[in-house]
Amino acid sequence: MKNGALFIKVALLFCFMTGCSFMNEQQEISKPATTLIQRQLTSEGQDLNNRMLIIGTGDMTGVYFSLGQRLSNMYEKYNGAVSGTQVTDASIENTELVSRHRAEIGFTTVDVLDLPETDKSKLRALTALYSNYVQIVSTKQNDIDSLEDLVGKRISVGTAGSGTRLIAERILLESDLPTDQLNLSYLSFSQSAEALRNGTIDAAFFSSGIPNNEIAFISKQTELTFIPIPGDIIERLQKQYGVYTHNEIPRDTYSGMKKNVQTISIKNVLVTYKEMSDPHAYNLVKTLYEHLPELQHTHPAASDISITEATKQVPLDFHPGAVNYFTEQGIIGNQ
């Protein structure tokens, strides 16, 4: 009977890992399900910190995913955690998964935290990270040089549940372009890049760390145009939401760029649920910063992660375990 019960538990966990429950066809755990057998199985209702550590990331070609993979490896290597990453639609979906205890930690942009559908009472911040840059991209042959040129064009604004779609729609709304003359598609980074290559869309929004892998790849195949965000739109977005920063995409970011491109950036943050134990949250943050060079070698965007900026520009209460670590390091932790 005991062996039979163990088999059922393993089978249920395998089902969970391969998407038999809440995950849709585009979501997956990157670690093989067999890794769970290495862990002592716990029954329903036991300590949440005894579960597998699942990290909500984003598109497999995005920065969230590559950094999530590295974090997962670090937590296994240094914390002894059985850890895995989940492919998601990124920021909005990640906050939902974490708040529902469907993931232990998740990447998100700070503008998502103030959305009405985000239950901040269930979430806690672990640390601020790097910034996402809004990158509005077209191919040279489309003759799109400004937001006004998007009228009548086919535009990808990112998937539902993504921070890309959120900021893209806010920019288009502030631009006062006629919405009935915008042909919008809701594609992932990889889908947007492919559609730009084959000409099925004319422009695409990407909100990610720089360089974005998909943009970098297609910039080596075809000449791209990067559409700037006008200063007045940036000012209105800053005044209305308070979380966007005037910034530039440096001209050496992608092949063929001839000048810096005016845009906005948004801070990223790593979040968890408030029920995570203080020691567990403390160790997650400690491992990240004690081995930060490993994370920074994963993608250039991570070079902007700094412990001196870890508690800044985050409109969310920090987890007490994270506050304990930052206090020990001499960083102001109470927000």
The two three-digit tokens of residue 185, written as one number: 């598609």
The two three-digit tokens of residue 328, written as one number: 């020990």
- The structural domains of the chain, ordered by start, are 2-131+268-328 (3.40.190.10), 133-266 (3.40.190.10)
pLDDT digits (tens, 9 = 90+) for 105-114: 999 999 999 9
pLDDT digits (tens, 9 = 90+) for 147-159: 999 999 999 999 9
Check: CB of residue 155 under 8 Å from CB of residue 201.
yes
Q: Residue 74 has what pLDDT? A: 97
CB atoms within 10 A of CB 250: 14
Distance CA 290, CA 312 (A): 19
Distance CA 146, CA 173 (A): 15
* Over residues 91-103, mean pLDDT: 97
**What DSSP assignment string belongs to 273-308?**
ETTS-HHHHHHHHHHHHHTHHHHHTT-GGGGG--GG
Dihedrals phi, psi of 240, to nearest 5 degrees: -80, -40
Closest among 82, 52, 84 to 68, alpha carbons compared: 84
For residue 137, give the H/E element and its range.
Answer: strand 123-139
pLDDT digits (tens, 9 = 90+) for 222-281: 999 999 999 999 999 999 999 999 999 999 999 999 999 999 999 999 999 999 999 999
- Rg value, the chain, Cα: 21
Closest among 331, 316, 223, 241 to 286, alpha carbons compared: 331
CA angle 206/111/24 to nearest 5° reads 65
Q: Which residue has the tokens 């890992």?
A: 17
The better pLDDT of the pair 10, 49 is held by 49
Q: Please, which pLDDT band fits residue 50 given cuts at 50, 70 and 90?
A: low
Q: Is the dihedral of CA 243, 263, 68, 29 positive or negative?
A: positive
The whole-chain average pLDDT of the chain stands at 87
The two three-digit tokens of residue 262, written as one number: 């005016």
The two three-digit tokens of residue 209, written as one number: 């760390």
Q: Please, which pLDDT band fits residue 12 given cuts at 50, 70 and 90?
A: very low
Q: Is the dihedral of CA 84, 88, 94, 96 positive or negative?
A: negative
Distance CA 119, CA 127 (A): 18
Distance CA 164, CA 205 (A): 7
**What DSSP assignment string belongs to 3-59?**
HHHHHHHHHHHHHHHTTSSS--TT--BSS-GGGGGGS----TTS-GGGS-EEEE---
* Over residues 309-314, mean pLDDT: 95
Distance CA 81, CA 28 (A): 19
pLDDT digits (tens, 9 = 90+) for 157-177: 999 999 999 999 999 999 999
How far, CA to CA in Å, does 209 sit from each of 57, 99, 131, 233, 246? 13, 24, 6, 21, 15
Instruction: Kindly report the length of the chain.
Output: 335
Q: Residue 36 has what pLDDT? A: 33
Q: Which residues contact residue 154 at a Cβ distance below 8 angstroms, ignoring those fewer than 6 apart?
A: 183, 185, 200, 201, 202, 203
Distance CA 56, CA 5 (A): 30
